[in-house]
Structure 1
Amino acid sequence: MVKTRAVIDEYDTYVPGRSKKEITDKYGIDADDILKLGSNENPWGASKKAQKAVAECAIEMNRYPESNHEYLKEKIAQYAGVRQNQVIVTGDGADELLDIIAKTLISEGDEFIVHPPTYTYYEYTFKLYNAKPVYARWDVETNTLDVDSVLDAITDKTKVIFLCTPNNPTGGLISHDDIVRIVEATDALVVVDEAYWEFAEVNNVDLLDKYDNVLLLRTFSKVMGLAGLRVGYGLASPELLEKISRIKPVFSVTVPSQKAVLATLDDKEYIEESTRKSIEEREYLYESVKAIDGLDIYASKSNYLLVDLHDSGYTAAEITEALMKRGVIVRDCTSFRDLDEYYMRISIETHPKNERFIEILKEVIDERRN
């Protein structure tokens, strides 16, 4: 047998949200009847302009995509309010950029700081390069970052600090002042993950012209509705991006992906409508779940919400199974470090589907109570 690296032999597989096909195969439920509230997607679909652009570019699939993305970066810069040389574009969403950052900055034995519970892909990616995770603390009860725990974790081995705002899976924000405190306390790269910033309606783009150790991580998979095309982007100093670009895969952003992003950025009405409806549905879910006895829910600034099940009579595994049998996909949060087996995450759907989800959820809770 081929001998693999020791870190691979000891590695846990990343746990994504469940797909409709899994539920169809397991329970025989028609895919069209399944409510998918587990993956933080845009339930209204991609921009019609993006769909048209992808269809029209099919004739180009025999050609390599444009590699420098200059026009694409120009359009992203206009949207983000930065200069073109402060933009890098990646395939495989923002996850590809995480991998490139690790390749660029990490030597064996270096440290990186994360604040669990948070997006697990930071740790999943960086440990592959033999970097050591150092754990700061997200206070789940108050849904805020313990800033002092981050500052106390910084050492001369710290290469990267991850700050997720809105935080996944809790939906809480990290204040601008707290981010500045951390950035000014270190020369390590501070990666501020703003994948869901549109739903929060605040961002930290002003930091880029003040500090050269900040990188904002973003994606077109959420409010832009392009999760299936996997395009991400980063905003940072031109000097850092020049070094990162040296090892970035040349053709990772495909022709359909580029065309779809450009068309979506031109569709301002779509972006505004997606953002507005997402926030409305988030607040509907918050108020509706909050009214169910036995469930506690955290206020969120994203398109998902964390639900505390301690008083429900269910573990996360039990309630997700009960919901899946009824054609509902939510996220069991047991795989998130520092969350026990009594948390699930729900993401928005269209309003009729959200109404149906609430009715099913009530039935499931009442069933255990009775």
Structure 2
Amino acid sequence: MKPRMIVSEMDSYVPGKSQDEIASEFNLNKEDIIKLGSNENPFGPSPKAIEAIEKECKNINRYPESVLNELQQELANYSGVKQSQVIVGGDGADEIIDVLAKTFIDEGDEFIVPLPSYMYYEYLLQQYGARPVYAKWNLDENKLDIDSIVDAINSKTKMIFLCTPNNPSGTLIDKEDIKRIASQNPDILIIVDEAYFEYAEITNKDLINEFNNIFIIRTMSKVMGLAGMRVGYGLACEEIIEYMHRIKPVFSLTRLSYVAALNTLRDEDYIKSSIKKGIESRQYLYNELSKIDSLNVFPSKSNFMLIGIKDTGFTASELALELMKHGVIVRDCTSFKGLDEFWIRISICTLEEDEKFINIMKEVLS
């Protein structure tokens, strides 16, 4: 049986390695492995979420909520928007991107992605017959090349993806640049990915009241500590949200993910603590790694940072392998289009794990 042509031509998406994989491959204890490869919240989930999940377990024989009014309202309160401007999805933000594609993409459409950036946009939209067109980030100046976006726009352009803070560079996009692109291209949907906005303490959510062609993607997998629950959400004008609700799967949120999300949002102390500890970890890692002369460490507004390693004598795959042997998982960024084989990405951990990682990095590089 042959698949659709686009499926036969696609490469599989390459996620970060798990602790179980590394423990098995290198005969290590899973509990001792330091995971810096997947941009997760290392401080654990909200205790209120855990309690809610335990109580809800007895109801998993029943279908989950199909009308998510209560969760939508909590997300609206958290985001400072109206409930009618919120859509919630399962599978993290990935389902939100998928529903966007199903709602607005026709075969033959084009979408713009500045490189390097999160590659899952391309992976999802190509399934619907859309073609990626690449703009670029200026890594020398660590900022988006706006002119490359403008130059890439043509009559087939349906969407532009702007990740801020950008993954993997950690760079913020200036709000005025987003407004410029949106105002000059009212028929193009501008997707602003704010998966990590809490760590930047900056948001563009007010733009959805100013522009009908801006859609903001968010997730509860980062600061909210729910990566294993797969909850994402989007913010946009009411018209876009209504169209997407026609397409979105009815039962995409499980009963457990629903109560976990609801109770995490109601745990304000947990959210504030997660942000504070995450920023502290990021700053510690940046300060310590910047002392190593052979590393080119990018300042970041997210919970991860991009590191150039060309002067270390290692390629990314070689360094990642050596670190895995020592029980440390980092992200080899060779699979990111727009980067060569001399970049890795690391994410925050507890300060204790950060210190261990720094010592291991120094040992490996020496």
Q: Same fold (TM over 0.5)?
A: yes
Compute the RMSD of aligned alpha carbons.
Answer: 0.6
CA contact (8 A) 1:151 1:185 kept: no
Task: List per-residue Cα deviations over 1:165-210 (Å, max 9, x = no partner).
Answer: 0000000000000100111111210000000000000000110111
How far apart in 2 are the matches of 1:190 and 1:120?
17
Alpha-carbon separation, structure 2, partners of 1:209 and 1:293: 46
CA distance in structure 1 between the partners assigned to 2:132 and 2:5 by the alignment: 17
SS at match of 1:323: helix
Aligned match of 1:192: 192
Residue in 2 aligned with 1:14? 13
Secondary structure at the residue paired with 1:94? helix
Counting only pairs closer than 5 Å after superposition, residues 1-370 of structure 1 correspond to structure 2 as 2-186=1-185, 187-366=187-366
- How many matched pairs? 365
Pairwise CA distance, 1:150: 0.6
SS in 2 for 1:82: coil
Aligned residue type for 2:116: P
Distance in 2 between residues matched to 1:188 and 1:293, nearest whole Å: 44
AA aligned opposite 2:106: S
Distance 1:242 1:59 in 2: 33
1:216, 1:18 → 2: CA distance?
A: 28
**Unaligned ranges ≥5, structure 1:** none
Shift of 1:293: 2.1
Following the alignment from structure 2 to structure 1, what is the Cα–Cα distance between the partners of residues 251 and 24? 35
1:104-130 per-residue CA deviation (whole Å, 9 max, x = no partner) reads: 111111000000100000011111111
Instruction: Give me the whole-angstrom Cα distance separating, in 2, the residues matched to 1:265 and 1:253.
Output: 16
> In structure 1, what is the Cα distance between the partners aligned to 2:61 and 2:106?
38
Could you list the structure 1 runs, at least 4 aligned residues long, displaced by more than 2 angstroms after superposition.
none
Which consecutive unaligned segments of at least 5 residues does structure 2 have?
A: none
C-alpha deviation, 1:142, in angstroms: 1.4
Q: Matched residues in 2 for 1:97 and 1:285: separation?
A: 32
Using the alignment, how far apart are the partners of 1:308 and 1:68 within structure 2? 46
Of stretches 137-146 and 342-351 in structure 1, the one that deviates more from structure 2 is 137-146
Deviation of residue 151 (structure 1)?
Answer: 1.2
Deviations 1:22-72 (A, max 9, x none): 111111000001000000000010000001000110111011111120011
Q: In the aligned structure 2, how far is the partner of 1:105 from the partner of 1:84? A: 22
CA contact (8 A) 1:282 1:348 kept: yes
Q: Which whole-Å CA distance do the structure 2 matches of 1:254 and 1:158 have between them? A: 35
Secondary structure of the corresponding residue to residue 246 of structure 1 = helix
d(CA) in 2 for partners of 1:87, 1:7: 32
**Cα distance, 1:140 vs structure 2:** 1.2
Deviations 1:86-119 (A, max 9, x none): 0000000000111111111111110000001000
